[in-house]
């Protein structure tokens, strides 16, 4: 077996050194009823060629966006990733190292994390950011728990534009710790409605921009009103590329920001692994979940980096920790950081403008199709249209024609009001020919 270096001769000699006769003697502590003589009922070992053939068979049954005009977003976006990103993250020293607990031999990972934290802080317009969480949805949920710790209040208000998967993830974690949630019904616009639900027990309001339907909103007034009522504003961003163009959550007054970072550096990969960006106001630093990397000096006085403020974490505080998180999303954070340092402010702003232009070109074409109504008032690279018939059937019909058209709102919510709503996205990867193909196929199926 190609991954197991011991030979039978090695094994015999090692058993001899240990002083036992057979490998079974090392498993004597297993209770007799649980000992198994043979192998379990699964296939036997296989060579690279055989395994590759099996995986290729799985892959062949999927329609990859690389082969189809593609307009799907709703929380995960297809962007171009420079070749350099994947090359670097596959370097052994990044790919096959552990969490940097021994800083003397992990300065590579640690400096990347320090740069990552700074990038995230600047991108979100916040003073401090952590070294990543699992993804945007769990980051949003951690934000809610953090708001409870800070305010000692027990209710979270969730906006009607919040991605339903995020809402459900927040509900799972919030209810587990005894936080009540009050979620508005899905709505395309009108994030300010959250203010009507704030009461003396409200720890936070959670608002997403651009929201599920693509609507971008200035949250400045919502921030002021929430804070005046003693609640924190948690801003969720599922399309991080939008921050290359839109006002940052920090500038709008956010207390906590939870972002899905997938759009920068991380492939779609059917939903994971992704990378959660988490930033907050400085005064909340000690209530933050997850790892933090900080600057210091070594014994020679040279600058270096270490994981710090770890007394917040589970391995020290145990049942009093700010979160139970241990493993985070290190390699995806690295990919994010490399991609963003390649883009820089110039590249990020340029690609953001291209996204805006593509999506608005798509909007102009869709608006011309009979019976199609654009319902999103202002947006970045994603918007929602109301079709003359059920969106899920239209999407299936277009998929049969090799076009991946968007996400029916009914995938998340069966409310009849939204049965015909379709969320479509257009990033820099969409060509004019893709748009033309969608429009012509759509006319056929409507």
Give me the least distance between CB of 387 and other proteins, in Å please. Answer: 15
Q: Which is nearer to other proteins, 8 or 370 (CB)?
A: 8
Give me the least distance between CB of 405 and other proteins, in Å please. Answer: 9
Q: What are phi and psi of 118, to 5 degrees?
A: -70, -40
Q: Which is nearer to other proteins, 321 or 446 (CB)?
A: 321
Task: Answer for the pair 75, 426: CB distance below 8 angstroms, yes or no.
Answer: no
Q: Which is nearer to other proteins, 348 or 372 (CB)?
A: 348
Q: Which class for 345: exposed (0-12), middle (13-18), buried (19 or more C-beta within 10 A)? A: exposed
Give me the least distance between CB of 75 and other proteins, in Å please. Answer: 6
Give me the least distance between CB of 438 and other proteins, in Å please. Answer: 15
Q: Which is nearer to other proteins, 43 or 416 (CB)?
A: 43
Calculate the alpha carbon distances from 423 to 192, 280, 392 in Å.
22, 30, 11
Q: Which is nearer to other proteins, 202 or 208 (CB)?
A: 208
Task: Answer for the pair 445, 397: CB distance below 8 angstroms, yes or no.
Answer: yes
Distance CA 354, CA 80 (A): 12
Give me the least distance between CB of 231 and other proteins, in Å please. Answer: 20
Give me the least distance between CB of 379 and other proteins, in Å please. Answer: 8
Q: Which is nearer to other proteins, 136 or 160 (CB)?
A: 136
Cis check: omega of the bond before 198, within 30 degrees of 0 = no
Give me the least distance between CB of 352 and other proteins, in Å please. Answer: 9
Distance CA 289, CA 23 (A): 43
Give me the least distance between CB of 48 and other proteins, in Å please. Answer: 5
Q: Which is nearer to other proteins, 148 or 198 (CB)?
A: 148
Give me the least distance between CB of 90 and other proteins, in Å please. Answer: 6
Calculate the alpha carbon distances from 414 to 25, 71, 421 in Å.
59, 22, 11
- DSSP letter assigned to residue 70: B
Q: Which helix (H) or strand (E) holds 51?
A: helix 48-60
CB within 8 Å of 86: residues ≥ 6 apart: 335
Q: In what order do the strands lie in the sheet with 256-260?
A: 128-129, 276-280, 256-260, 232-237, 202-208, 155-158, 180-183
Give me the least distance between CB of 126 and other proteins, in Å please. Answer: 9
Between strands 155-158 and 180-183, the pairing is: parallel
Q: Which is nearer to other proteins, 198 or 216 (CB)?
A: 216
Q: Which is nearer to other proteins, 10 or 199 (CB)?
A: 10
Q: Which is nearer to other proteins, 319 or 444 (CB)?
A: 319
The full 3-state SS of 325-359, as one line of letters, equals CCCCCHHHHHHHHHHHHHHHHHHHHHHHHHHHHHH
Give me the least distance between CB of 418 and other proteins, in Å please. Answer: 14
Q: Which is nearer to other proteins, 257 or 306 (CB)?
A: 306
Residue ranges of E strands in 368-414: 373-374, 382-386, 407-408
Cis check: omega of the bond before 273, within 30 degrees of 0 = yes
What distance lies between CA 358 and its chain's CA centroid? 23
Distance CA 309, CA 288 (A): 10
């Amino acid at each position: 077996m190609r991954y197991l270096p011991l030979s039978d001769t090695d094994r015999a000699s090692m058993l001899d050194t240990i002083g036992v006769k057979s490998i079974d003697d090392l498993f004597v502590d297993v209770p007799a009823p649980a000992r198994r003589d043979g192998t379990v009922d699964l296939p036997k070992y296989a060579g690279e060629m055989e395994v590759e053939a099996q995986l290729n068979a799985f892959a062949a049954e999927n329609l990859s966006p690389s082969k189809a005009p593609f307009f799907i977003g709703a929380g995960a976006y297809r962007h171009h990733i420079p070749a350099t990103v994947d090359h670097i993250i596959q370097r052994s020293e990044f790919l096959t190292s552990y969490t940097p607990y021994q800083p003397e031999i992990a300065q590579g990972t640690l400096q990347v994390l320090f740069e990552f934290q700074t990038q995230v802080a600047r991108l979100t317009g916040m003073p401090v950011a952590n070294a990543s969480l699992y993804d945007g949805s769990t980051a949003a949920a951690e934000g809610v728990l953090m708001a409870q710790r800070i305010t000692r209040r027990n209710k979270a208000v969730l906006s009607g534009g919040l991605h339903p998967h995020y809402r459900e993830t927040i509900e799972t974690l919030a209810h587990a710790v005894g936080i009540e949630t009050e979620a508005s019904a899905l709505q395309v616009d009108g994030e300010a409605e959250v203010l009507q639900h704030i009461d003396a027990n409200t720890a936070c309001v959670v608002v997403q921009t651009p929201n599920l339907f693509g609507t971008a909103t200035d949250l400045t007034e919502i921030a002021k009103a929430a804070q005046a009522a003693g609640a924190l504003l948690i801003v969720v961003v599922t399309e991080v590329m939008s921050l290359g163009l839109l006002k940052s959550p920090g500038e709008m007054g956010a207390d906590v920001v939870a972002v899905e970072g997938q759009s920068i550096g991380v492939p779609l990969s059917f939903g994971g692994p992704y990378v959660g960006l988490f930033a907050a106001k400085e005064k909340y630093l000690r209530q933050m979940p997850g790892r933090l990397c900080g600057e210091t000096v070594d014994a020679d006085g040279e600058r270096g980096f270490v994981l710090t403020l770890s007394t917040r974490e589970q391995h020290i505080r145990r049942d009093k920790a700010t979160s139970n998180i241990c493993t985070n999303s290190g390699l995806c954070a690295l990919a994010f950081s490399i991609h963003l340092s390649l883009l820089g402010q110039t590249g990020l702003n340029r690609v953001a403008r291209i996204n805006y232009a593509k999506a608005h070109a798509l909007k102009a074409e869709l608006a011309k199709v009979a019976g199609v109504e654009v319902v999103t008032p202002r947006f970045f690279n994603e918007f929602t249209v109301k079709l003359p018939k059920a969106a899920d059937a239209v999407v299936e019909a277009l998929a049969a024609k090799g076009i991946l058209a968007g996400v029916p709102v009914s995938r998340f919510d069966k409310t009849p009001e939204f049965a015909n709503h379709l969320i479509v996205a257009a990033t820099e990867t969409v060509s004019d020919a893709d748009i033309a193909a969608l429009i012509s196929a759509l006319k056929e199926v409507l």
